[in-house]
Amino acid sequence: MKKFILIICLILSTSIFSQELEKSTIKCNYLTKFLIDTTDISTKKEELTGLWIGKSSSLFKSDQKAKYDSLTKESTKKSMMNPIGGKIIIDFSKIPRTFFKPEVYKVGNSLKIFDRVWNVNYEYESDQKINWNLVDEAKVISTYKCRKAVAKYRNRNITAWYTEEIPISEGPYTFKGLPGLVIEAYDDKDFFHFTLVGLKNLNELIAPIRNVISTDYQKFLKKRKDFQNDPAGAYFVATGKQVPKDDIERVTKMHRSNNNHLD
């Protein structure tokens, strides 16, 4: 069981930007299938992700991550109220883990991506504008009449099926900007696959992740590559502790195998 002992006080507060946030009117749930390691089919994961849509903003993130954030906040609050031996002990080991890390926050024409390298959260403005090509193909998905669109997103070929029956120019991750809601989206190698499984009216605050380091994509990419090349070194810089020599190869292999990044 992993335990974190905090001697300092932790302050739980709402975002300083809360007055600028709005509430959703609709929430879409997508079943998201993806590989952790593109060379190993056994690393395939399935996770429920959510898309909260408001009048002028939206947020896409793992549903499990939303639950994890809520549960860790509640666990921290309880631990602060009930210190043991004068120390605040926080245990997150029993909270279900999430594997889909990125979040996408859209306000107007601004699209910000939030992602993590080890235990640090970063945010950067998306530098990729998706130019969709509408294709004269149609099919029915989950009772919705859908039309096809294709685009290039970095080094991936993306196919999206959208429906004009829901005239909202939204979709999972950054796959937005079509004449209707994206019902299904995937890359040509099927390393990522999003499928709408639920839609409901929901009034919840659209709040992006807090306590992040602002950067740009190229700097974020370098930070991630540096960490994957030398995770033991990064751990030492962050904590002042050495990874045991017998564990360095295993730890390095584990982090390098996490190679499937949608950005």
Asked if residue 17 has pLDDT above 50, the reply is no
How many separate domains does the chain show? 2
CATH of the domain at 190: 2.50.20
Residues 191 and 64 in one domain: yes
pLDDT in tens, 176-206: 999 999 999 999 999 999 999 999 999 999 9
Residues 45 and 108 in one domain: yes
Lowest mean pLDDT among 44-53, 124-133, 228-237: 228-237
Residues 225 and 146 in one domain: no
pLDDT in tens, 207-236: 998 889 999 999 999 999 999 888 888 877
The pTM of the full predicted model, rounded to 2 decimals, is: 0.81
Lowest mean pLDDT among 53-62, 144-153, 249-258: 249-258
Residue 93 located in a structural domain: yes
| Domain of 206, in residue numbers | 24-215
Residues 74 and 202 in one domain: yes
Asked if residue 175 has pLDDT above 70, the reply is yes
Q: Please, which pLDDT band fits residue 94 given cuts at 50, 70 and 90?
A: low
For residue 65, the one-letter residue type is K
Residues 89 and 134 in one domain: yes
Tokens 């889909």 locate to 100
Residue 140 located in a structural domain: yes
Higher pLDDT, 164 or 118: 164
The CA distance from 99 to 47, in Å, is 8
The CA distance from 169 to 235, in Å, is 42
Residues 83 and 208 in one domain: yes
Residues 184 and 238 in one domain: no
Which pLDDT belongs to residue 91? 52
Residues 89 and 209 in one domain: yes
Residues 223 and 171 in one domain: no
- Report CA dihedral (192, 157, 196, 95) to the nearest 10 degrees: 20
Task: Single out the residue of 87, 116, 120 nearest to residue 4, CA to CA.
Answer: 87
Residue 205 located in a structural domain: yes
Residue 10 located in a structural domain: no
Both tokens assigned to 119: 């235990």
Which pLDDT belongs to residue 254? 82
Residue 11 located in a structural domain: no
Residues 43 and 105 in one domain: yes
C-beta of residue 3 within 8 angstroms of C-beta of residue 89 = yes
Which pLDDT belongs to residue 240? 79
